[in-house]
Amino acid sequence: IEASIPEPQREAWLRHQAGGFKDQDGFEREVVRHVETTLARSLYNCDESAAYSATALAFRDRLILEWNRTQQRQTFADSKRVYYLSLEFLMGRALDNAMLNVGQKDLAKAGLSDLGFRIEDVIQQEHDAALGNGGLGRLAACFLDSLASLNYPAWGYGLRYRYGIFKQEIIDGYQVEVPDYWLDFNPWEFPRHDVTVDIQFYGNVEKKTNDAGKTVCHWEAGETVKAVAYDVPIPGYATPTTNNLRLWSSKAASGEFDFQKFNSGDYESSVADQQRAETISAVLYPNDNLDRGKELRLKQQYFWVAASLYDIVRRFKKTNRSWKEFPEQVAIQLNDTHPTLAIVELQRILIDLEGLEWDEAWNIVVNTFGYTNHTVLPEALEKWSVPLIQHLLPRHLQIIYDINLYFLQTVERQFPDDREILRDVSIIEESQPKMIRMAFLAIVGSHKVNGVAELHSDLIKTTIFKDFVRIFGPDKFTNVTNGITPRRWLHQANPRLSELIASKTGGHGFLTDLTALNKLELHVNDKAFRKEWAEIKYANKVRLAKHIKATTGVTVNPAALFDVQVKRIHEYKRQQMNIFGAIHRYLALKAMTPEERQKQLPRVSIFGGKAAPGYWMAKQIIHLINSVGAVVNNDKEIGDLLKVVFLEDYNVSKAEMIIPASDISEHISTAGTEASGTSNMKFVLNGGLIIGTCDGANIEITREIDESNIFLFGHLSEEVEELRHTHLYGEHVVDPKLAAVFAEIEKGTFGNPQDFAGMVSAVREHGDYYLVSDDFSSYVDSHAAVDEAYRDQEGWVTKCITSVARMGFFSSDRCINEYAEEIWNVEPLKVEA
Ligand code: Z2T
């Protein structure tokens, strides 16, 4: 709008507007042009990597045109927008997704083949965009896909980390972390050097009188850092809508300290300042479900939040509306408490910079924000120390105190004789030092709070947030059960299955309305269909077997039952119980006669996942898995009957290969600890069954697919507290089968028992907080039931097809529509196809 082409010249402009390629020939021409000019190579030195780069650039050109049109259309329509604030976006690869979403993968496949390449190999060249830890970050990525596919005017806001989640290597059975420098060649981002925001830190606050004679607070910065926008286009599936993900990168603010020092000869310290500024967006914190309270992390949070809000407010101001209309134009969703400072920042903008009265400003703030909680684990609930906030963000601390004061005053009026509730719900915890409870601040500053699966949403209302339900009433709290995008997690990851489903359900409509999968139930007895279904699973297992051979050297039989647990390594997710179970199976096999052994079902126990670098117990679990594998996989007596493998560097693109190859996957968290889980949905959607506890979304999956199609075991969340109490204060007897496993570990069968002493003593001596012993025998029984069911191959296939047919509920499209209706009050922007 500021610098557009004058009317008379627009016609010429429009005549020359790039069109992107339209057919295979046009695509090939673009690829060759990019190889020869953009990449400065030729047909004599074009390898797969160059073919990838050129293909990506050709598709990027295409995306960019729709992206521009989408932004123009959304600006012109001037309707309410959604802003999804997330510190993590676990995007994975972009090329395959872009080709499928714009409907030109077949064309590209033919074009690349004509130029001498296999599209699968070209796709594999891309480095994952891994700006996230696990479920929370991948959920944000699925949401972006659904928002665009459903034509919602929506932006994601995040940080452009120079280093994403570390690359995991397994060396001598131990995890080693290698930095993930992913920006060498990234065609999917567009630097916007003209879109920058100065972000201030430290300094002090002064009271000043403004032009209207009112006293206002003025925050004098101690340090300023520049935020530079990098935009990533997000194409919707089968729609022209291409939304924007804006990632902020930190740079030294020019003119601040660098040039002064440079001129005075202090070059080195100028460079040091520059590097310090760039450190803010340098690295993703690699913790999943853990808060470590580091100052740099707080700087990241404020940097990102302040830049995003400045951007959002700037866009709103261009519409010349009155402030009270802000919540009718803007919905901001907080992905966990990481962006909670946005609440304080918006209040600061409104009262300090825009001159609104407190109450009017606060109304706007509360109506703008929604907060999603992703965990009840106490160690993951964010708290920031008051002295730290005082130092870094002095004005924000004052505002937080005021928010708390007004909040507690209303609570006091509501519950006049209850002293305890004031202490319990105070945003400030009266500890030494005082701490700010970010979840409480997020609740007070939002109009809706949601959990991510039914059990989880009930739990937050009855445990960690129960007092807030009394204060605000139950309607402020709601549930939105997580979902996954069927585009990536079925169509892209499992193309053959997607085609087979399309052939039986009347086309690819299920990709935009996943409930259409229910038509599959009509074909469950169709012989040819069942046969092809089984063949596809087998082919996916063959592909995984090749990967296992290539990366671990272990030969596995693709006809064996593939038993998969891939997710972040965490005690609450109980990979330790899984590996103890594998040891139990090994001991049982060893105790059998050769005749008995011959009757057993071969099994491959497959693990994958990263441990946070500072999580000692998680690393010990990885080491035990590898140590058990080293023994079992080389035991001649056992042969194919049991293999144990750990796949290194589990990430989104590996998930796309592993998940379609699973027969049974493990979702076995201690009841009440896994908020939802989302890989459980991906496995079932790909025709695998699950063994799991009554936790998170497993419960709703069971409700949808029927309990006859899932292997549930273990104690219920209501029982957990009492069991933990008994372990500590009553008598605690370790399950005898588990005791035998411990005895074997302590005999040294899997290497030095000292290496695994922590895992054993956590159960035996330290109260077994995660109830491994309590659930062990039902876990083992449940695995026996899995074996039994798998022997009946026909029955197994029936279970798988029936389950897939009933998974329609778990699309992230359903999930996003629920957010849009119940929390954001936004509507899709209709587009002509
Ligand atoms: C995370 O991945 C999750 C929760 C967190 O709480 C943090 C991280 Cl990094 C602070 C996961 C949950 O553990 C998982 O159950 C859930 O499915 C996922 O978020 C998405 O909601």
- pLDDT tens digits for 379-392? 999 999 999 999 99
Q: What is the pLDDT of residue 16?
A: 78
Least trusted range by pLDDT, from 256-260, 303-307, 412-416, 782-786: 256-260
Domain spanning 78-93+128-481: CATH superfamily: Glycogen Phosphorylase B; (3.40.50.2000)
Best residue among 288, 652, 667 to mutate for probing ligand 1's pocket (most ligand atoms within 8 Å of CB) is 288
CA–centroid distance, 389 to ligand 1, in Å, is 25
**Interatomic CA distance for residues 610 and 374, integer angstroms:** 19
Residue 403: both structure tokens together: 């928010």
Best residue among 86, 89, 136, 383 to mutate for probing ligand 1's pocket (most ligand atoms within 8 Å of CB) is 136
714 sits in which H/E element: none
Query: What number of other Cβ atoms are within 10 A of residue 148's Cβ?
Result: 27
Q: Is 374 in the pocket of ligand 1 (CB under 6 A)?
A: yes
- Res 1 pLDDT > 50: no
Q: Is 679 in the pocket of ligand 1 (CB under 6 A)?
A: no
- Res 474 pLDDT > 70: yes
Q: Which atom of ligand 1 is nearest to the CA of 678?
A: 17
Residue 399: both structure tokens together: 């505002």
3-state DSSP assignment of residue 309: helix
CA–centroid distance, 741 to ligand 1, in Å, is 31
Burial letters for 443-461: b for 16+ Cβ neighbours within 10 Å, e otherwise?
A: bbbbbbbbbbbbbbbebbb
Q: Is 672 in the pocket of ligand 1 (CB under 6 A)?
A: no
- Give the tens place of pLDDT for each residue, 712-731: 999 999 999 999 999 999 98
Q: What are phi and psi of 432, to 5 degrees?
A: -120, 100
Best residue among 291, 336, 374 to mutate for probing ligand 1's pocket (most ligand atoms within 8 Å of CB) is 374
19 — pLDDT class (breaks 50, 70, 90): low
Q: Is 164 in the pocket of ligand 1 (CB under 6 A)?
A: no
**Interatomic CA distance for residues 36 and 42, integer angstroms:** 5
The residue whose C-alpha atom lies closest to atom 5 belonging to ligand 1 is 289
Domain spanning 562-810: CATH superfamily: Glycogen Phosphorylase B; (3.40.50.2000)
**Interatomic CA distance for residues 394 and 202, integer angstroms:** 7
**Interatomic CA distance for residues 735 and 768, integer angstroms:** 12
Q: State in Å, rounded, how far the first CA of the chain is from the last one.
A: 26
Helices 527-552, 793-805: inter-axial angle, 10-degree rounding: 100
The residue whose C-alpha atom lies closest to atom 1 belonging to ligand 1 is 136
- Res 740 pLDDT > 90: yes
Q: What is the pLDDT of residue 248?
A: 99
Asked whether this chain's domains 78-93+128-481 and 562-810 adopt the same fold, the reply is: yes
The residue whose C-alpha atom lies closest to atom 7 belonging to ligand 1 is 289
Best residue among 143, 375, 480, 650 to mutate for probing ligand 1's pocket (most ligand atoms within 8 Å of CB) is 375
Q: Which atom of ligand 1 is nearest to the CA of 381?
A: 10
Q: Is 815 in the pocket of ligand 1 (CB under 6 A)?
A: no
Q: What is the pLDDT of residue 214?
A: 86
Q: Is 696 in the pocket of ligand 1 (CB under 6 A)?
A: yes
Q: Is 676 in the pocket of ligand 1 (CB under 6 A)?
A: yes
Cβ neighbors of 320 (< 8 A, separation 6 or more) are none
- Give the tens place of pLDDT for each residue, 310-328: 999 999 999 999 999 999 9
Cβ neighbors of 780 (< 8 A, separation 6 or more) are 581, 584, 737
**Interatomic CA distance for residues 218 and 202, integer angstroms:** 13
- Give the tens place of pLDDT for each residue, 155-210: 999 999 999 999 999 999 999 999 999 999 999 999 999 999 999 999 999 999 88
Q: What is the pLDDT of residue 261?
A: 63
Q: What is the pLDDT of residue 268?
A: 79
**Interatomic CA distance for residues 632 and 637, integer angstroms:** 9
Q: Is 678 in the pocket of ligand 1 (CB under 6 A)?
A: yes
**Interatomic CA distance for residues 359 and 216, integer angstroms:** 15
Structure-token match 């939802």, residue found: 676
Q: What is the pLDDT of residue 266?
A: 76
- Res 262 pLDDT > 70: no
What distance lies between CA 543 and its chain's CA centroid? 26
* Total residues found in the chain within this entry: 833
Q: What are phi and psi of 754, to 5 degrees?
A: -55, -35
CA–centroid distance, 4 to ligand 1, in Å, is 44
The residue whose C-alpha atom lies closest to atom 9 belonging to ligand 1 is 288
CA–centroid distance, 397 to ligand 1, in Å, is 28
Positions marked catalytic: 374, 567-568, 573, 678, 682
Structure-token match 């778990």, residue found: 810
273 — pLDDT class (breaks 50, 70, 90): confident
- Work out the percent of the chain whose per-residue pLDDT is above 70: 98
CA–centroid distance, 711 to ligand 1, in Å, is 23
In angstroms, how far apart are the furthest CA atoms of the chain? Answer: 95
Q: Is 828 in the pocket of ligand 1 (CB under 6 A)?
A: no
Contact 125, 142 (CB under 8 A): no
Contact 429, 383 (CB under 8 A): yes
CA–centroid distance, 814 to ligand 1, in Å, is 19
Summary mean pLDDT of the chain: 96
Ramachandran assignment for 436, one of left (phi > 0), alpha (psi -120 to 50 degrees), beta (any other): beta
Contact 808, 514 (CB under 8 A): yes
- Res 47 pLDDT > 70: yes
833 — pLDDT class (breaks 50, 70, 90): low
Q: What is the pLDDT of residue 258?
A: 54
- Give the tens place of pLDDT for each residue, 590-629: 999 999 999 999 999 999 999 999 999 999 999 999 999 9
CA–centroid distance, 191 to ligand 1, in Å, is 30
**Interatomic CA distance for residues 43 and 25, integer angstroms:** 17
Q: Which atom of ligand 1 is nearest to the CA of 674?
A: 15
Contact 79, 153 (CB under 8 A): yes
Q: Is 677 in the pocket of ligand 1 (CB under 6 A)?
A: yes
Q: Which atom of ligand 1 is nearest to the CA of 139?
A: 20
Q: Is 481 in the pocket of ligand 1 (CB under 6 A)?
A: no
Q: What is the pLDDT of residue 212?
A: 82
| Sheet strands (E) in 163-269 | 167-171, 174-178, 190-201, 204-209, 215-220, 223-235, 242-252
Contact 572, 621 (CB under 8 A): no
Q: Is 675 in the pocket of ligand 1 (CB under 6 A)?
A: yes
**Interatomic CA distance for residues 795 and 804, integer angstroms:** 15
What distance lies between CA 311 and its chain's CA centroid? 24
- Res 110 pLDDT > 60: yes
Least trusted range by pLDDT, from 5-19, 467-481, 726-740: 5-19
- Side chain identity, residue 722: E
- Give the tens place of pLDDT for each residue, 337-383: 999 999 999 999 999 999 999 999 999 999 999 999 999 999 999 99
Q: What is the mean pLDDT of residues 402-415?
A: 98
Contact 767, 724 (CB under 8 A): yes
Contact 649, 175 (CB under 8 A): no
Q: Is 442 in the pocket of ligand 1 (CB under 6 A)?
A: no
Q: What is the mean pLDDT of residues 765-769?
A: 97
Q: Which atom of ligand 1 is nearest to the CA of 375?
A: 6
Q: Which atom of ligand 1 is nearest to the CA of 456?
A: 15
Edge-to-edge strands of the sheet including 383-385? 383-385, 435-437, 428-429
452 — pLDDT class (breaks 50, 70, 90): very high
- Give the tens place of pLDDT for each residue, 550-598: 999 999 999 999 999 999 999 999 999 999 999 999 999 999 999 999 9
Q: Which atom of ligand 1 is nearest to the CA of 287?
A: 9
The residue whose C-alpha atom lies closest to atom 3 belonging to ligand 1 is 136
Q: Which atom of ligand 1 is nearest to the CA of 675?
A: 15
Q: How far is CA 782 from CA 56, 704, 711, in A?
A: 46, 20, 6
Residue 816: both structure tokens together: 């996003």
- Res 256 pLDDT > 80: no
Q: Is 482 in the pocket of ligand 1 (CB under 6 A)?
A: yes
Contact 252, 228 (CB under 8 A): no
Q: Measured at the alpha carbon of residue 805, what is the angle toward residues 803 and 806, in degrees to the nearest 5?
A: 65
Contact 625, 646 (CB under 8 A): yes
Q: Which residue has the higher pLDDT, 300 or 268?
A: 300
3-state DSSP assignment of residue 185: coil
CA–centroid distance, 88 to ligand 1, in Å, is 11
Best residue among 143, 289, 459, 682 to mutate for probing ligand 1's pocket (most ligand atoms within 8 Å of CB) is 289
Q: How far is CA 671 from CA 458, 552, 714, 719, 770, in A?
A: 13, 33, 8, 9, 9
The residue whose C-alpha atom lies closest to atom 19 belonging to ligand 1 is 136
Q: What is the mean pLDDT of residues 813-831?
A: 98
Q: What is the mean pLDDT of residues 457-478?
A: 98
- Side chain identity, residue 673: T
Residue 289: both structure tokens together: 């479900």
Q: What does the domain layout of the chain look like in residue ranges?
A: 1-77+94-127, 78-93+128-481, 562-810
CA–centroid distance, 150 to ligand 1, in Å, is 24
Q: Is 139 in the pocket of ligand 1 (CB under 6 A)?
A: yes
- For the whole model, what pTM was predicted? 0.97
**Interatomic CA distance for residues 706 and 773, integer angstroms:** 28
Pairing status of strand 448-451 against strand 561-566: unpaired
CA–centroid distance, 280 to ligand 1, in Å, is 23
